[in-house]
């Protein structure tokens, strides 16, 4: 545990040294999000699907419930993430980890829901773990079409986006593993999709759930297409050497921070 904390603290230090605040190329003017101008959002093109909150909780997706004590940690994470992103004019965030099963998908979905609770933002969670897509499963979604169909059958983006019943949250799920995943993530079609998702709405934060760095070159290959990255490590599982190697691999991307997940330390006080 101490060793993980040391590794994280070193990662944070070197993140500051490597210029977290360096600006990206000037962002293009984007449309103000029509969907954040009023509390009541009407989705005209996006499919709306109500979710089973019990199933969400059993999959550790809990930030829809502000009373859940664990949602506070995600709200704090959201505030820190948004502060850094706003400061730098960033709106796209990748989530990855050194090794598998650190909790990336759980963090990505909870963070997206937490962001969507804020009335001045919308969140879009994109399943770009093309080998092991899980977002649809975790949310209990059974979409008729998903990213796979967009890639293989020339569907339009609006045909695969889903609003899972929470205002200001949209999901781009995938239900079928995609072959040649790293090549796909750097293909012209995906680049154009990423560009479209980034530039369509001014107040939208796009979160890409990626595979782990150790599982191949997908995450590294995709990284140049996002503004910044959040690294998820699992307490008691991720080794310091893995954190170090992960930092090396993503050194040319803006590291927003490291999330220590699966910690057994509990918040025992009200504040």
Ligand X SMILES: Nc1ncnc2c1ncn2[C@@H]1O[C@H](COP(=O)(O)OP(=O)(O)OP(=O)(O)O)[C@@H](O)[C@H]1O
Q: Catalog residues that contact ligand X under the rule CB under 6 A.
A: 60, 97, 100-106, 129, 132, 134, 212, 261-262
* Closest residue to ligand X using C-beta atoms: 103
Tokens of residue 67, six digits: 């009373």
- Picking from 81, 114, 120, the residue whose alpha carbon sits closest to that of residue 203 is 120
**3-state class (DSSP) for residue 270:** coil
Shorter beta-carbon distance to ligand X: residue 41 or 219? 219
Shorter beta-carbon distance to ligand X: residue 35 or 127? 127
> DSSP letters of 189-205?
HHHHHHHHHHHSBTTEE
Shorter beta-carbon distance to ligand X: residue 201 or 208? 208
For residue 207, state whether it binds Mg ion (rule: CB under 5 A): no
Angle, vertex CA 198, rays to CA 182 and CA 176, nearest 5: 40
From the list 132-140, 160-168, 178-186, 224-232, the region that binds Mg ion by CB under 5 A is: 132-140
Shorter beta-carbon distance to Mg ion: residue 104 or 121? 104
For residue 198, state whether it binds Mg ion (rule: CB under 5 A): no
- Picking from 199, 219, 200, 202, the residue whose alpha carbon sits closest to that of residue 210 is 219
Tokens of residue 219, six digits: 């995450």
Torsion, Cα 253 254 256 261, to 10 degrees, reads 10
Of 78, 84, 104, 247, the residue at the interface with Mg ion (CB under 5 A) is 104
Q: Least Å distance between CB 132 and ligand X?
A: 5
**3-state class (DSSP) for residue 160:** coil
Binding site partner of 212, from Mg ion, ligand X, none, Cβ cut-off 5-8 A by kind = ligand X
Cα–Cα distance, 63 to 71 (Å, whole number): 5
Shorter beta-carbon distance to Mg ion: residue 209 or 227? 209
Number of alpha carbons in the 13 Å side-chain half-sphere of residue 126: 25
Of 88, 99, 105, 225, the residue at the interface with Mg ion (CB under 5 A) is 105
For residue 253, state whether it binds Mg ion (rule: CB under 5 A): no
Near Mg ion in 173-192, by CB under 5 A? none
Chain positions contacting Mg ion, by CB under 5 A: 104-105, 134
């Amino acid at each position: 545990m101490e060793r993980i904390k040391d590794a994280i603290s070193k990662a944070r230090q070197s993140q500051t040294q490597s210029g977290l605040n360096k600006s990206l190329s000037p962002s293009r003017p984007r449309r103000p999000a029509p969907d954040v101008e009023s509390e009541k959002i009407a989705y005209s093109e996006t499919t709306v699907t109500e979710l089973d909150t019990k199933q969400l909780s059993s999959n550790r997706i809990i930030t829809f419930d502000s009373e859940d004590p664990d949602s506070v940690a995600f709200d704090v994470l959201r505030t820190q993430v948004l502060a850094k992103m706003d400061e730098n004019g960033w709106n796209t965030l990748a989530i990855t980890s050194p090794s598998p099963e650190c909790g990336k998908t759980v963090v990505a979905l909870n963070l997206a829901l937490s962001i969507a609770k804020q009335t001045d933002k919308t969140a879009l969670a994109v399943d770009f773990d093309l080998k092991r897509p899980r977002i649809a499963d975790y949310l209990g979604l059974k979409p008729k079409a998903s990213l796979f169909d967009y890639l293989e059958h020339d569907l339009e983006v609006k045909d695969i986006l889903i609003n899972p019943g929470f205002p200001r949250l949209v999901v781009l799920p995938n239900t079928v593993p995609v072959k040649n995943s790293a090549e796909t993530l750097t293909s012209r079609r995906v680049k154009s999709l990423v560009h479209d998702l980034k530039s369509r709405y001014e107040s939208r934060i796009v979160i890409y759930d990626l595979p782990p760095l150790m599982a191949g070159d997908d995450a590294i290959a995709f990284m140049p297409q996002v503004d910044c990255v959040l690294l998820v490590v699992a307490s008691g599982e991720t080794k310091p050497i893995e954190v170090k190697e992960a930092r090396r691999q993503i050194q040319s991307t803006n590291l927003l921070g490291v999330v220590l997940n699966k910690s057994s330390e509990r918040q025992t006080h009200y504040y």
